[in-house]
Amino acid sequence: MHALGASFTPRCSTETPSNRGGPISSETRINDRIRVPEVRLVGPNGEQVGIVRIEDALRLAEEAELDLVEVAPQAKPPVCKLMDYGKFKYESAQKARESRRNQQQTVIKEQKLRPKIDPHDYQTKKGHVSRFLGQGHKVKVTIMFRGREQSRPELGFRLLQQLADDVSEQGFIEAKPKQDGRNMTMVLAPHKTGKGHKSKANAS
């Protein structure tokens, strides 16, 4: 390699092996680990610099106090980008954690009821729905009709409306009751603010 490339001390050096690799690829090469004659260089703001010698790319990285990161090793020539690799890895980890939190928040629980549910069973089901909403989960409530009950959809509708009113402090109707074959479904979502006025607005 050119003397400049050999003398260049990367910000993510061999003294800190924990900084190697990262979310771009399990085998991401950075700085003087990129051993090709030339690369297609992309600037820190996404601007296309063009095809340059690896020595020049490393020099530009050093001058900008950034890392040269290989982002498309299969390209001819490989595509490299100037970036703060340590900051990139940190931000990627933050985004991954946020994504996991969002996935947890959008978990949909389900509760099934019968149109002529026993009062004690109703209280039990209502408690489950209230607890799920309190934990930040959405709840899909399903009314299951059998036989002649299918000719009385208003029974299921009234039951769903009653349930929505009973848990209005914890959640609101996100998807209004609708008939789905032999079932009627409704989706409740938790309040972000903890207020119960949304339920009445959606139920009306």
Residue pLDDT, tens place only, 166-175:
999 999 999 9
Query: How many whole angstroms from its chain centre is CA 19?
Result: 25
CATH numbers and ranges of domains, the chain = 31-100 (3.10.20.80), 108-190 (3.30.110.10)
Q: Does this model's pTM top 0.85? A: no
Tokens of 157: 């509708």
Q: How far apart are CA 136 and CA 167, in angstroms?
A: 13
Distance CA 109, CA 129 (A): 8
The pLDDT assigned to 8 comes to: 40
Q: How far apart are CA 153 and CA 170, in angstroms?
A: 26
Of all helices (H) and strands (E), which one includes residue 131? helix 119-134
Chain mean pLDDT for the chain: 80
